[in-house]
Structure 1
Amino acid sequence: MFWTIEDTIEVVKLGVALILSTQFAYGCTIALLEKTMLGFYEYSIYDPPTTTIQKMINIFQKGLLGSGHYIYTKIGKYNWFVRKILFLIALAIQGILSITLYYIISGLLEGIFL
């Protein structure tokens, strides 16, 4: 009935999985609904943030949704077809890296604390 170190490790692993999967899922929606999702992201970021609350909102948004927007703006100079192909390649690489990073963090947590 008590909170154990195994429970803490499980919560951290779930948090990491949540962040990585949210980044990937938002990237997938950018691939499908390009301008709508980019507009939503730009609308939800304060530029420049003036208060502490605005800074916290920016950190939260960039932490959960920032990678897709960042990658898409970097390849924005190409035409539509090339941009889609490059973004899908980047999204596949991000998916593989997310899974790898999850297993590395999971193994480190279990190796250190268990």
Structure 2
Amino acid sequence: MITPIEFFKSLADETRVRSMLLISTQGELCVCELMCALEESQPKISRHLAQLRSSGLLLDRRQGQWVYYRLNPNLPAWAREILQVASKANTDWLKDNAVRLQNMNERPVRALACC
């Protein structure tokens, strides 16, 4: 189980917190979607997602050439609530990211996960 210290340390970077808030509102996102939304390079996005995954905040799944990231369903309720409240309270801060994501051309098509 993740502790509050681990949780907040994991979010102590703008790229990681924006990624987490976008993923929490979208359900799941792939690296290319986060690259578009955050206007960052693939290595930078991948590095931060790897940190979030290794800390237990995110899980990933592979679908063809895409790797999708989603919140770990085993996150404690308090952590999910913090992400939900932070997302709702910071829509202006995330607005440009959300607009870029919404306007992204050729977004990957998700297949329904089997499990």
User: Which one has the bigger strand percentage?
Assistant: 2
Fold match (TM-score > 0.5): no
Q: Which has the larger radius of gyration?
A: 1
User: Which one has the bigger helix percentage?
Assistant: 1
Shorter-normalised TM range:
under 0.3
Q: Normalization by structure 2: what TM-score?
A: 0.26
